[in-house]
């Protein structure tokens, strides 16, 4: 839009106007003819204006634009607006006034001020230390967090060269590389972490992000540097790492301990066993019945201790040694286990018609069923024993159960029986090491599953274990390289890396677990 | 054993374990003379003694002081004069690592020492039966 131009007589009458003036003020040319220039001012400015006009007529120094005064005009419809005005005296004494509508500029200035206030309040509130550097790496601005964190004042910061300020403590090779190489190439610095010694606050871990401020002109680049003090986090992290290392070492020692103790206990035990045997054989004539009985008990206890030590070894092997996962068809494995246990003729064992085919460690599956089935057989107290192996799908898991009509277990013992070396019978009555169920528990939990028992005393027990069909826990556990670094088993041919043993129980397609019919296995 | 006159070398540090082997051999009427040394180093010295006839078989414990069974095997199986003598490991260790390492070093057998003496006799009986049938290098 063209500028509005008015020619005003020395007495204030409006002599001529252009089309832009008509449009700006809303008066027609005819109406302008009846107006004085004061009519174009808000009422409050009118009284002084005649005097100002007279002063200008007397001393006509041309009035330039933007001389700082807030000037207002009023339209015919009464709406005020911001204007800037330039005046020049014509030769005949009239005054040529050019009127600029600066409403838009005014609004832009106002919103700019608001935006600045907005960003200032953000910068001031931020916990991160912020620095704005110019192209010569002088500090243009810094926020309160910066001053607080580094315990420095504004006067020793703003306007200073970055690498020289604060006694040159920011001058170190990584920082120079950043300033000289990275920033000028307009690359952002993303999460650069470093540790540095600061005179006021000591050694700190800092995380630095930096970038060129978007919109800063090419000839006047500005860089924003954000610094986060991550000392506390780093300290915590290294503390955590140290604790994990200690735990791993303790765990490792424990594994080796079980191994070493077991082996070193066996040698003297064997000697005791042999010597007792020889005394029994060599001194047969000299020993009376009581002496023979004592030797028999001695040898029996040696065997028992041998069993306990084997139990410790077996228990410590679970989780220490990993086999390659293979396809394990439980429809074959379970009858094999039953066969190997050779159950007495008064015990009948039923197996679900279809058991799943899993991809997992074969030995672990063997141990699970072996331990549960041998317990069910060993403790059977009924003249017609019935044991049933079953499987069901439950919440994305396989739930296997071994149910018997044996003596049953009092619920208050449910927890105890899964602990190492815990038995409910005197060992002389039922020879048992108390390791089996703890191995079942360790295996099932190692595969990301759980174990449990339901029982009615006098009527029987149902031991169950539940294995997830594909357990992420177990994957994570065996992907850990530490699992392959046990004391003595590191070159165990059974031990494979995590990739092989990481699929605990994957069902082969097309072989669902059905338990709608039971088939008796033949013995 | 096949060659009755040849000796059996027992490398074993535990006195009772050594007695066990001797007693079991006697019980099984194995008539070969038995030399007993207490660790790998003594075994090597014994085997390399000039003029001494080589044993027909070596019964080797693994866990011994000064020089273990595995260390003994590493030396013996690299020695052309010793490497053909069959070695049977007799040990407490069930660790797969020991089994694998022993067979890598060319042992002829790996037997676990049972805690029960009667079982031990059975083990030695099997060893004797096998080496009575098997051909041995002369």
Give the per-residue pLDDT at A477: 36
Nearest-CB residue to A489 (from B97, B115, B120): B97
Q: How confident is the model at residue A420 (pLDDT cuts 50, 70, 90)?
A: confident
Q: How far apart are CA B46 and CA B42, in angstroms?
A: 6
Over range A419-446, report the average pLDDT: 78
| Token pair listed for B65 | 């002081």
Q: What is the mean pLDDT of each run of 10 residues along chain B (138 residues)?
A: 78 90 89 91 92 90 89 93 91 82 92 85 88 75
- Distance separating the N- and C-terminal Cα atoms of chain B: 14
Residue A26 near residue A76 (C-beta atoms within 8 A): yes
* Helix, strand or coil, per DSSP, at residue B23: helix
Is the pLDDT confidence value at A492 over 50? Answer: no
Identify all chain B residues contacting A299, using CB atoms and an 8 Å cutoff: 116
CB contact under 8 A, A274 and B101: no
**Contact by Cβ (8 Å): A377, A413:** no
Examine the pLDDT at A385 and tell me if it is beyond 90: yes
What distance in Å separates the CA atoms of residue A91 and residue A130, rounded to the nearest whole number?
Answer: 60
Among B26, B13, B35, smallest CA distance to B117 is for: B26
Distance between B98 CA and the closest CA of chain A, angstroms:
9
Mutation site, B14, B117, B123, interface A, largest A CB count within 10 A: B117
Q: Is residue B29 exposed (0-12), middle (13-18) or buried (19+ Cβ within 10 Å)? A: exposed
CA-CA distance, B96 to A313, in Å (whole number)? 13
**Tokens matching residue A145:** 């967090």
Chain B contacts of A271, Cβ < 8 Å? 14, 16-17
Give the residue-averaged pLDDT of A401-424. 87
Kindly determine whether residue A489 and residue B63, on different chains, have CB atoms separated by under 8 Å.
no
Q: Residue A504 has what pLDDT?
A: 44
* Mutation target among B27, B70, B95, B103 for the A interface, most CBs of A within 10 A: B95
How far is B4 from A237, CA to CA, in rounded Å?
Answer: 70
The residue of chain B with its CA nearest to that of A276 is B117
Query: How far is Cα B91 from Cα B89, in angstroms, rounded to an integer?
Result: 6
Q: What is the C-alpha separation between A416 and A423, in angstroms, rounded?
A: 8
Closest CA–CA distance from residue B113 to any residue of chain A (Å): 8
Mean pLDDT for all residues in chain A: 81
Lowest mean pLDDT among A15-24, A126-135, A180-189: A180-189
Q: Which residues contact A102 (CB under 8 A, 6 or more apart)?
A: A82, A83, A84
Q: Do the chains contact at B92 and A270, CB–CB below 8 Å?
A: yes
Q: Does the pLDDT value for residue A489 go beyond 70?
A: no
Q: What is the mean pLDDT of residues A338-360?
A: 91
Give the closest of A274, A278, A493 to B100, CB-based.
A493
Buried/exposed code over A165-202 (b: 16+ C-beta within 10 A; e: otherwise): bbeebbeeeebeebbeebbeeeeebeeeeeeeebeeee
pLDDT at position B3 = 64
Shortest distance between the Cα of B103 and any Cα of chain A, in A, equals: 12
Nearest CA in chain B to A491: B97
pLDDT greater than 90 at residue A168: no
Q: Using the beta-carbon criterion (under 8 Å), do B117 and A488 form an inter-chain contact?
A: no
Distance from CA of A406 to the nearest CA of B (A): 32
CB contact under 8 A, B97 and A303: no
Give how far the C-alpha of residue B30 lies from the chain's centroid of Cα atoms, to the nearest Å: 14
Phi and psi of A421, rounded to 5°? Answer: 65, 15
What the block records as the tokens of A110 is 């106002």
pLDDT for the residue numbered A242: 93
A263, A274, A494: residue with CB nearest B92: A263
CB contact set of A251 (below 8 Å; sequence gap of 6+): none
At B44 the pLDDT is 94
Q: What CA–CA distance (Å, rounded) separates B10 from B64? A: 12
The residue to which tokens 């049938």 are assigned? B133
CB contact under 8 A, B14 and A493: no
Nearest CA in chain B to A278: B117
> What is the C-alpha to C-alpha distance for residues A7 and A19, in angstroms, rounded to an integer?
13
First to last CA, chain A: 107
Residue A481, both tokens: 């390289």
What average pLDDT does this structure show over A133-146? 87
Best mean pLDDT range from A158-162, A425-429, A455-459: A455-459
Q: Which residues of A touch B (CB under 8 A)?
A: 259, 263, 266-267, 269-271, 273-275, 277-278, 299, 302-303, 306, 313, 321, 488-494
DSSP A183: G
User: Can you spell out the DSSP letters for A254-317?
Assistant: HHHHHHHHHHHHHHHHHHHHHHHHHHHHHTTTT--HHHHHHHHHHHHHHHHHHHHHHHHHHHHH
Coil/strand/helix, residue A221:
coil
Q: What is the DSSP string of A104-142?
A: HHHHHHHHHHHHHHHHHHHHHH-SSEEEEEETT-BEEEE
Task: Say whether B87 sits in a helix, a strand or coil.
Answer: strand
Question: Kind of pairing, strands B109-112 and B87-91?
Answer: parallel
Separation in Å, CA A271 to CA A47, A232, A423, B55: 126, 59, 28, 26
Residue A468 contacts residue A447 (beta carbons within 8 Å):
yes
Q: Is A263 close to B20, i.e. CB distance below 8 A?
A: no
The two tokens of residue A8 are 């005003």
Place of tokens 């704005």: A132
pLDDT value at A517 more than 80 = no
Residue pairs between chains A and B whose CB atoms are closer than 8 Å: 62
Q: Residue A326: pLDDT above 80?
A: yes
Over residues A213-254, the pLDDT tens digits come to 876 665 677 888 898 989 989 899 999 999 999 999 888 887
Write the residue in A277, A278, A493 that is nearest to B96 by C-beta: A493
Residue B8 Cα, gap to closest chain A Cα (Å): 21
Cα–Cα distance measured from residue B12 to residue B37, given in angstroms and rounded to the nearest whole number = 6
Structure tokens at A84: 């800037």
Q: Which helix or strand (DSSP H or E) is residue B63 part of? A: none
**% of chain A beyond a pLDDT of 90:** 19
Q: Do B114 and A270 touch (CB under 8 A)?
A: yes
> What is the model's pLDDT at position A481?
40
Task: Give residue B104's pLDDT.
Answer: 93
Distance CA(B9)–CA(B22), nearest Å, equals 11
Per-residue pLDDT at A462 exceeds 90: yes
A475 pLDDT above the threshold of 70? no
More confident: A260 or A145: A145
Per-residue tokens: A220: 């006047």
> Which percentage of chain A shows pLDDT scores above 70?
85
Q: List residues of chain B with CB under 8 Å from any CB of chain A.
A: 14, 16-17, 19-20, 23, 63, 92-98, 100-101, 113-118, 120
- Nearest Cα to Cα of residue A12 among A44, A63, A43, A57: A57
Count of other CB atoms within 10 angstroms of residue B80: 7
Q: Give the contacts of A272 (CB within 8 A, at least 6 positions apart).
A: A298, A302
Nearest to B115 among A266, A321, A490 (CB): A266
Q: Is the pLDDT reported for residue A509 higher than 80?
A: no
pLDDT digits (tens, 9 = 90+) for A274-315: 899 999 888 888 989 898 899 988 988 888 888 888 888 888
Residue reference for tokens 């010793």: B82
Which among A206, A201, A159, A141 is positioned nearest to A178, based on CA atoms?
A206
With contacts defined as CB-CB under 8 Å, which chain B residues touch A267?
Answer: 14, 17, 63, 92
**Cβ-defined contact of B117 to A271 (cutoff 8 Å):** no
Q: How far is B49 from chain A (nearest CA, A)?
A: 31
The alpha-carbon gap from A423 to the nearest alpha carbon of chain B, in Å, equals 23
């Amino acid at each position: 839009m063209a500028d509005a131009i008015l020619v005003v007589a020395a007495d204030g009458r409006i002599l001529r106007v252009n089309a832009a003036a008509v449009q700006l003020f809303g008066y027609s040319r005819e109406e302008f003819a009846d107006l004085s220039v004061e009519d174009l001012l808000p009422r409050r400015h009118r009284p002084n204006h005649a005097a100002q006009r007279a002063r200008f007529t007397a001393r006509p120094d041309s009035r330039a634009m933007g001389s700082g005064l807030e000037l207002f005009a009023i339209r015919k419809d009464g709406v005020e607006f911001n204007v800037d005005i330039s005046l020049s005296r014509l030769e005949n004494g009239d005054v040529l006034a050019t009127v600029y509508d600066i409403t838009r500029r005014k609004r832009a200035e106002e919103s700019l001020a608001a935006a600045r206030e907005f960003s200032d309040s953000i910068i001031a509130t931020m916990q991160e230390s912020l620095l704005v550097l110019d192209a010569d790496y002088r500090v243009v601005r810094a926020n309160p967090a910066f001053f607080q964190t580094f315990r420095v004042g504004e006067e020793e910061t703003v306007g200073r060269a970055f690498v020289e300020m604060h006694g040159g403590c920011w001058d170190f090779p990584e920082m120079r590389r950043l300033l000289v190489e990275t920033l000028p190439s307009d690359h952002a610095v993303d999460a650069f972490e470093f540790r540095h010694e600061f005179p006021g606050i000591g050694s700190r871990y800092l995380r630095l992000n930096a970038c060129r401020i978007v919109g800063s002109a090419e000839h006047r680049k500005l860089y924003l540097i954000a610094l986060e003090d991550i000392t506390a986090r780093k300290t915590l992290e290294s503390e955590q790492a140290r604790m994990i290392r200690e735990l791993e070492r303790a765990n490792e020692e424990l594994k080796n301990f079980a191994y070493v103790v077991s082996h070193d206990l066996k040698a003297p035990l064997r000697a005791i066993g042999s010597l007792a045997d020889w005394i029994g054989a060599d001194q047969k004539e000299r020993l009376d019945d009581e002496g023979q009985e004592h030797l028999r008990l001695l040898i029996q206890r040696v065997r028992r201790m041998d069993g306990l030590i084997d139990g410790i070894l077996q228990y410590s092997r679970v989780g220490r040694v990993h086999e390659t996962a293979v396809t394990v068809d439980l429809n074959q494995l379970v009858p094999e286990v039953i066969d190997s246990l050779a159950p007495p003729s008064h015990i009948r064992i039923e197996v679900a018609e279809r058991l799943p085919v899993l991809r997992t460690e074969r030995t672990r599956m063997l141990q699970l069923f072996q331990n549960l089935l041998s317990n069910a057989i060993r403790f059977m107290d009924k003249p017609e024993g019935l044991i049933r192996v079953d499987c069901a799908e439950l919440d994305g898991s396989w739930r296997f159960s071994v149910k018997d009509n044996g003596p049953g277990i009092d619920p208050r013992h449910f927890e105890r029986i899964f602990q190492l070396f815990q038995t409910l019978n005197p060992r002389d009555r039922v020879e048992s090491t108390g390791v089996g169920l703890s191995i079942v528990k360790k295996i099932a939990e190692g595969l990301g599953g759980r174990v449990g028992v339901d029982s009615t005393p006098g009527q029987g027990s149902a031991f169950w274990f539940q294995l997830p069909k594909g357990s992420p826990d177990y994957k994570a556990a065996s992907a850990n390289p530490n699992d392959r670094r046990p004391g003595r088993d590191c070159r165990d041919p059974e031990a494979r890396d995590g990739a092989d043993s990481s699929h605990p129980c994957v069902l082969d397609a097309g072989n669902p677990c059905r338990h709608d019919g039971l088939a008796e296995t033949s013995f | 054993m096949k060659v009755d006159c040849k000796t059996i070398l027992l490398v074993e540090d535990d006195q009772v374990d050594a007695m066990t082997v001797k007693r079991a051999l006697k019980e099984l009427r194995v008539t070969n003379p038995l030399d007993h040394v207490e660790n790998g180093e003594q075994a090597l010295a014994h085997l390399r003694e000039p003029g001494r006839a080589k044993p027909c078989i070596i019964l080797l414990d693994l866990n011994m002081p000064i020089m273990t069974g595995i260390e003994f095997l590493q030396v013996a199986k690299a020695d052309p004069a010793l490497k053909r003598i069959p070695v049977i490991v007799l040990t407490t260790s069930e660790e797969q690592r020991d089994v694998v390492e022993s067979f890598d070093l060319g042992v002829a057998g790996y037997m676990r020492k049972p805690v029960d003496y009667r079982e031990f006799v059975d083990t030695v009986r099997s060893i004797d039966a096998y080496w009575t049938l098997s051909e041995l290098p002369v």
